[in-house]
């Protein structure tokens, strides 16, 4: 596996406060990697260490095969960064701001800037101080994507964006990965990460709680399935069915199943009994997040 980011034993302290505690992490080239956790978990600290905006107390991090401290100038040309605390020159228009960055980066980016502005419905011709937070955020997204970087590092990228623009952002992230570029997406918006990421890492108090593919994490969770029948079979019928943790008989010919893992074995067992209706409460990434935090002693 070709790796875009490798962190080994990464640790950062501020006096007696431990912001990051021995993080080991690998992000593959060409994937969308979700990095989730509540505020204060260490997500932004990790990003700042990756970009040499902070120096580690211990451990190492390599980005695109390079040392952020020694090779910072080269890396900055190959990375698109959207900070969570985006600060823009408020008297400058978005167009002038992006043109300045294009001049520094070298290639002519006017076509990409205009295309991205059209997709995001961004206003590039008013001073940015006259724009809402969400509209300034759009300019930050354009700035990160326009030079087609090998690695996109995005910290809370959809903060302040309306739902339609969030959908456009998701499409941009997926398109970047399809082109072989890497997206490192740090967010506490779990729905956003679930719908765009290939893999996700959950961070808590500076430590990695779990890391896996999104579908694998969801498959570990239990879900509730309610099934109605014209003539409900006895609950004992489903004893021993793989993944069925509990079966409870309800009123009106309904059985309620608690299922851990894939639904296939239960669906196979249900088929001969001609179920009339089935309703499953699907887990989502928020359930994963809360489940691991509960098992780790609370938030």
Q: pLDDT-derived band of residue 284, with 50, 70 and 90 as boundaries?
A: low
Q: What is the mean pLDDT of residues 22-28?
A: 96
Distance CA 265, CA 228 (A): 18
Of 216, 221, 222, 196, the closest CA to residue 36 belongs to 196
Decide: residue 222, CB within 10 A, 0-12 exposed, 13-18 middle, 19+ buried: middle
Q: Do 249 and 255 contact (CB within 8 A), yes or no?
A: yes
Question: In the predicted model, what is the mean pLDDT of residues 37-54?
Answer: 92
Q: What is the pLDDT of residue 297?
A: 46
Res 294 pLDDT > 80: no
**Structure-block tokens of residue 94:** 């978005």
Between 16-25, 177-186, 199-208, 210-219, the lowest mean confidence (pLDDT) is in 210-219
198 CB contacts (<8 Å, ≥6 apart)?
Answer: 31, 32, 33, 177, 213, 214
For the chain, what is the mean pLDDT? Answer: 89
138 or 38: which leads in pLDDT: 138
Return the minimum-mean-pLDDT range out of 106-110, 145-149, 183-187: 106-110
Separation CA 3–CA 157 (nearest Å): 23
More confident: 246 or 250? 246
222 vs 163 pLDDT, higher one? 163
Torsions phi, psi for 107 (to 5 deg): -70, 155
Domains and CATH numbers, the chain: 3-217 (3.40.50.300), 222-282 (3.30.70.100)
Looking at the DSSP bridge assignments, the partners of residue 246 are: 258
pTM for this model (two decimals):
0.78
pLDDT band at 293 (very low <50, low <70, confident <90, very high): low
Point out which residues pair with 26 in neighbouring strands: 6
Find, among 181, 187, 182, the residue nearest to 155 by Cα: 187
Cα(13)–Cα(44) distance, integer angstroms: 13
Quote the pLDDT of residue 292. Answer: 61
Kind and range of the H or E run holding 260? strand 254-260
Instruction: List the structure tokens of 79.
Output: 């990375």
What's the rounded Cα separation, in Å, for the pair 35 and 7? 13
Q: Which residue has the higher pLDDT, 124 or 106?
A: 124
Band of pLDDT at residue 287, cut at 50, 70 and 90: low
The rounded percent of the chain whose pLDDT value lies above 70 is 91
| pLDDT confidence of residue 136 | 95
As a whole number, mean pLDDT of residues 126-153 equals: 95
Please, which pLDDT band fits residue 106 given cuts at 50, 70 and 90?
low
Residue 237 has pLDDT above 50, yes or no: yes
């Amino acid at each position: 596996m070709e790796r875009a980011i490798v962190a080994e034993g990464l640790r950062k302290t501020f006096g007696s406060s431990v912001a990051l505690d021995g993080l080991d992490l690998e992000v593959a080239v060409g994937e969308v990697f979700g990095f989730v956790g509540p505020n204060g978990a260490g997500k932004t600290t990790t990003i700042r260490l990756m970009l040499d905006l902070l120096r580690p107390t211990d451990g190492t991090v390599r980005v695109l095969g390079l040392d952020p401290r020694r090779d910072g100038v080269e890396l900055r040309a190959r990375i698109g960064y959207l900070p969570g605390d985006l600060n823009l020159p408020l008297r400058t228009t978005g167009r002038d701001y992006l043109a300045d960055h294009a001049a520094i980066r070298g290639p002519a980016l006017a076509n990409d800037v205009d295309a991205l502005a059209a997709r995001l419905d961004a206003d590039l011709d008013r001073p940015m101080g006259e724009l809402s937070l969400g509209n300034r955020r759009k300019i930050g997204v354009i700035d990160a994507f326009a030079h087609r970087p090998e690695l996109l590092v995005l910290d809370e990228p959809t903060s302040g964006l309306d739902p339609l623009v969030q959908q456009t952002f998701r499409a941009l992230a997926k398109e970047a990965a399809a082109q072989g570029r890497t997206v490192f997406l740090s967010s506490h918006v779990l729905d956003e990460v679930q719908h765009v990421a290939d893999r996700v890492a959950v961070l808590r108090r500076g430590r990695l709680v779990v890391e896996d593919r999104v579908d694998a994490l969801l498959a570990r969770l239990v879900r509730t399935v309610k099934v109605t029948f014209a003539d409900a079979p006895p609950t004992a019928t489903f004893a021993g069915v793989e993944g069925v943790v509990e079966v409870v008989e309800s009123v009106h010919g309904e059985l309620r199943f608690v299922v851990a893992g894939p639904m296939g074995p239960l669906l196979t067992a249900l088929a001969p009994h001609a179920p009339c209706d089935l309703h499953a409460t699907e887990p989502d990434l928020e359930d994963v997040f809360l489940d691991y935090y509960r098992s780790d002693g609370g938030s």
